[in-house]
Amino acid sequence: MNDQPVRPFRIKELLGGEERYVVPMYQRNYAWGEAEITQLLQDIHDYQQKSIGKETPQTYHIGTLVVFSRKDGRHEVIDGQQRFTTFSLLASWLRNRAATIVDMSWYERINLEFESRPISGKTFEALRRGDAPYLLRGDTFNEGLVDGYELIGKALDSLELRDERLATFCHYLFEHVQISRIGVPADTDLNHFFEVMNNRGEQLEKHELVKARLMAALQKIDDKTVRAKSLNAMALVWNACANMERYLQYGFTPAVRHVLFGQDDWGRLIPESFQELLDLLDSCPQKQGKEQASDETHANFTDIQRSLSDILEDATLDARPKQLDDAAGSERFNSVINFSNFLLQVLSLSVHQPGAREGVPLDDKQLVAQFELHVLQQKDPIAATQAFAHALLKSKFLFDQCILKREFAQGSDGWSLKRLHFYSDKSVSYINSFDDGESEHEGVNRQILMLLSAFHVSTPTQVYKYWLNGALRYLFLAQKKESPIRARAYLEHLEQLARRFVFLRFLAKGEGQSYYSMIYGEASNWPGFGHGDLSPMLRYGTIRNNFVFNFVDYLLWRRDLGKNEITKRFEFTFRSSVEHLSKVDPSVKTLSRLI
């Protein structure tokens, strides 16, 4: 790479130069549609129009291309691949459709390749060669690239860029539009770097950077077959978990769901280690045309059944994802936490050491640094990465079944606590997670849901969700393959966690107990709930957290459950003022009686 950390390129220099660029496997597929492509060309056209009549055309600085220089001389594209890919597609379109109007003799070869995505490379070359787009359809081509190629023609037509107007536009584009290539040095603070990047288009998020580093750790596995299986499993798990609005099972094909989550069940987590996960995936048959993975790492199927190990060499990591189920739930449920912060929750669960005084900070501003510290800098980063992958799978499974979501259905919304249940190939639905035949408004499922919602509305931010960490900690330890989570024990844990938060921190004198000690510490080390003189702490304006009031509301609701319809249908909501289900004297005596 040129020694300059920032180097401007004309678009013609970028596309026609000798330097090679590679889109790494952790990057998302090409995803730009009509809106993004049209906007890009519209922006360039607008600047070109400003230059009409001027002696020197105004240069349009279109943004940045962030790259990392590999040892083989290629530049790994960290950010800007959507724009780069679009310009490459545009050059191919002009070469094939407007050769008599625009001189494209300088564009002799594609200098952008896709790592571990042979379908994308094959499609890119076919488009550059001039193959008809209608011939480039189906599972053996990247339809996203084909669509982008055709949408470029549509966008140019909508801007009325034909004949001489097209020639003038292209001259401006290739000669007067600049992109700045930024080389990332080895000692760059990437965590801060990605926070301040602000380019048009989709940019790399921090959790994608974490994924890239974890995948790089697995790349160091000596055995070729184990390396390929581990990379595939990691990618499958990561992509299945990344959509927090969708139930985990829908991130896999139906065949894989039966293997990982129970045959004709989908309600159990079968693999109890990363090695078991590899073995189960390896045993899972795939069938041509009937099922297809829902992420970019799915396999290239043949007409006969093949195990995962049989298809690894054909892994078509770049075919367009297909929606497997209309009922996947992505638009039906809203998660209480985003993926980046969920990753820190899982990391905290998976790396906890007995006796530790502090754990992983639950703030995604520290996401990259924490994974470096707790996974990649460990004595055996490969084993640490594999262990985390299984912990992620396990935690997302438990999160979907045992942590509340906001559900939007039949024109209304409310809190829900549901799990996915398989009835038949044509019938899958969401049912209460702890459905033991009790009343919808009075059963244990409802009680757990109410307490979880009391926790959440008290701390609605994405970061520092200690209540969630406390809930997941219990679930993580209690879950076993043949032993489902016991609802009453889970409820008892949540109520005990609530009491610790209230009395050992929110109403404690001084700073109180740390969240980490209350979640991960030994119960024998906690002070008793002797209430003492809490009167000064129970006054409005002095209570440290609204959860004190919400927990009282939960206890009142539980006490009066069944007395009237209003109490039955009470729901916790976000509020800044302190109101109660019924009037209560906020005294030590009253609080003690309720608890």
**pLDDT score of 446:** 92
**pLDDT score of 197:** 47
- The residue among 315 and 439 whose pLDDT is bigger is 439
Rounded Cα–Cα distance for residues 174 and 13 (Å): 8
Amino acid at 170: C
Amino acid at 257: R
**pLDDT score of 198:** 39
The confidence band for 592, taking pLDDT boundaries of 50, 70 and 90, is low
Mean pLDDT of 24-51: 85
Cβ-contact 250, 328 below 8 angstroms = yes
Rounded Cα–Cα distance for residues 249 and 323 (Å): 13
Q: Which among 508, 575, 516 has a CA at the least distance from the CA of 544?
A: 508
Mean pLDDT of 62-76: 87
Convert the pLDDT of each residue in 569-587 to its tens digit. Answer: 888 887 655 555 444 555 5
**pLDDT score of 541:** 57
Convert the pLDDT of each residue in 508-522 to its tens digit. Answer: 877 788 899 899 987
Rounded Cα–Cα distance for residues 62 and 83 (Å): 10
User: Does position 181 have pLDDT exceeding 80, yes or no?
Assistant: yes
User: Does position 344 have pLDDT exceeding 80, yes or no?
Assistant: yes
The confidence band for 527, taking pLDDT boundaries of 50, 70 and 90, is low
**pLDDT score of 561:** 77
Q: Which among 396, 360, 364 has a CA at the least distance from the CA of 208?
A: 364
Number of other residues whose CB lies within 10 A of the CB of residue 168: 15
Convert the pLDDT of each residue in 223-241 to its tens digit. Answer: 999 999 999 999 999 999 9
User: Does position 311 have pLDDT exceeding 60, yes or no?
Assistant: no
Mean pLDDT of 152-168: 91
pTM value > 0.85:
no
Mean pLDDT of 308-319: 46
Q: Which among 30, 301, 23, 286 has a CA at the least distance from the CA of 140?
A: 301
Q: Which among 242, 216, 210, 101 has a CA at the least distance from the CA of 166?
A: 101
Sequence-distant (≥ 6) Cβ neighbours of residue 360 within 8 angstroms: 344, 347, 348, 351, 370, 374
Joined tokens for residue 384: 């640490």
Convert the pLDDT of each residue in 476-515 to its tens digit. Answer: 999 887 778 999 999 999 999 999 998 888 888 777 888 9
- The residue among 247 and 560 whose pLDDT is bigger is 247
Convert the pLDDT of each residue in 391-446 to its tens digit. Answer: 999 999 999 999 999 998 777 888 999 999 888 888 888 899 997 555 566 789 99
Taking all residues of the chain, what is their mean pLDDT, rounded to a whole number? 82
- The residue among 322 and 275 whose pLDDT is bigger is 275
Number of other residues whose CB lies within 10 A of the CB of residue 326: 6
- The residue among 129 and 317 whose pLDDT is bigger is 129
User: Does position 89 have pLDDT exceeding 90, yes or no?
Assistant: yes
Q: Which of 237-251, 370-384, 406-420 has the lowest mean pLDDT?
A: 406-420
Cβ-contact 111, 17 below 8 angstroms = yes
Start-to-end Cα distance in the chain: 66
Half-sphere exposure of 430 (CA within 13 A, CB side): 20
Mean pLDDT of 301-306: 36
* DSSP string computed for 228-262: HHHHHHHHHHHHHHH-TTS-GGGGS-HHHHHHHHT
- The residue among 303 and 262 whose pLDDT is bigger is 262
**pLDDT score of 540:** 56
**pLDDT score of 200:** 38
Mean pLDDT of 361-384: 92
The confidence band for 537, taking pLDDT boundaries of 50, 70 and 90, is low
Convert the pLDDT of each residue in 264-299 to its tens digit. Answer: 888 899 999 999 999 999 988 653 233 333 333 333
Mean pLDDT of 529-550: 66
Mean pLDDT of 184-202: 49
